[in-house]
């Protein structure tokens, strides 16, 4: 079945630095969602990507969907302490809402 791998699993970043987290699939994805979960919190929707090669920006966050629609990335510039949390990619499967969440990238930011 469809599975996604997120790398890295853990990212320690100095405040002000940039970092990228990746989501890779062995199968072609129809679309992919990104969620952020703060420690002790719940997943919060960030973005949806549907088109091949799509790039979307939200302030310091840049999301990309690969040309082959088998991978996606999230790049954060000038990391802030508010960026702390776990970032999940969640491709859709055969049923809308039946997402296949990755294991997430846990981000820790050092001031």
Choose the stretch contacting another protein; rule: CB under 8 A; options: 14-22, 59-67, 72-80, 92-100. Answer: 92-100
Q: Does 8 bind another protein (CB under 8 A)?
A: no
Among 33, 71, 72, 79, binds another protein (CB under 8 A): 33
**Tokens 């320690």 found at:** 12
As beta bridge partners, residue 62 has 57, 75
| Token duo for residue 64 | 């990309």
Instruction: With beta carbons less than 8 A apart as the criterion, state whether 109 and 11 touch.
Output: no
Q: Does 62 bind another protein (CB under 8 A)?
A: no
Question: Measured between alpha carbons, how far is 66 from 79 in angstroms, rounded to an integer?
Answer: 23
Among 1, 39, 42, 59, binds another protein (CB under 8 A): 42
Q: Does 1 bind another protein (CB under 8 A)?
A: no
Q: Does 41 bind another protein (CB under 8 A)?
A: yes
As beta bridge partners, residue 82 has none
């Amino acid at each position: 079945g469809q599975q996604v791998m997120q790398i890295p699993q853990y990212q320690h970043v100095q405040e002000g630095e940039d970092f990228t987290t990746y989501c890779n699939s062995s199968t072609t994805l129809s679309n992919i969602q990104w969620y952020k979960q703060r420690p002790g919190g719940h997943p919060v929707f960030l973005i949806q990507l549907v088109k091949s090669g799509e790039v979307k920006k939200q302030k310091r966050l840049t999301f990309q969907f690969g040309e082959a629609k088998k991978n996606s990335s999230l790049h954060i510039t000038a990391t802030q302490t508010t960026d702390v949390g776990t970032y999940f990619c969640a491709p859709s499967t055969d049923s809308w809402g039946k997402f296949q969440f990755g294991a997430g990238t846990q981000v820790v930011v050092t001031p």
